[in-house]
């Protein structure tokens, strides 16, 4: 979905959530635009952090041995 469509759908959702008030379209459009921009920025931030983690792991900065994690025993309490 393109950015314009996201903006349009979010503005419509805000309008519906506020019981469809008359004359508030400019405010709904502005708020929707801010939310779409924020969502894109958060997505970019997550992508950047994930890429940094992948790069660190590729350089050997991650754990080389898998963690010794076992499921809890059903037969006896831990």
Q: Is 77 helix (H, G, I), strand (E, B) or coil?
A: coil
Give the pLDDT score at 58: 86
Give the pLDDT score at 65: 61
pLDDT in tens, 10-59: 999 999 999 999 999 999 999 999 999 999 899 999 999 999 989 988 88
Determine the angle formed by the axes of helices 3-17 and 25-58, rounding to 10 degrees. 130
* pLDDT higher than threshold 70 for residue 67: no
Give the pLDDT score at 62: 57
Q: Provide the total of helices (H) and of strands (E) in the chain, helices listed first.
A: 2, 0
pLDDT band for 75, please (50, 70, 90 cuts). Answer: low
């Amino acid at each position: 979905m393109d950015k314009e469509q996201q903006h349009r759908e979010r503005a419509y959702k805000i309008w519906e959530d506020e019981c469809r008030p008359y004359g508030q379209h400019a405010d709904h459009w502005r708020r929707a635009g801010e939310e779409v921009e924020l969502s894109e920025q958060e997505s970019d931030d997550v992508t950047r952090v994930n890429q940094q983690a992948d790069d660190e792991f590729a350089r050997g900065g991650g754990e080389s041995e898998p963690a010794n994690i076992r499921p809890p025993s059903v037969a006896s309490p831990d």
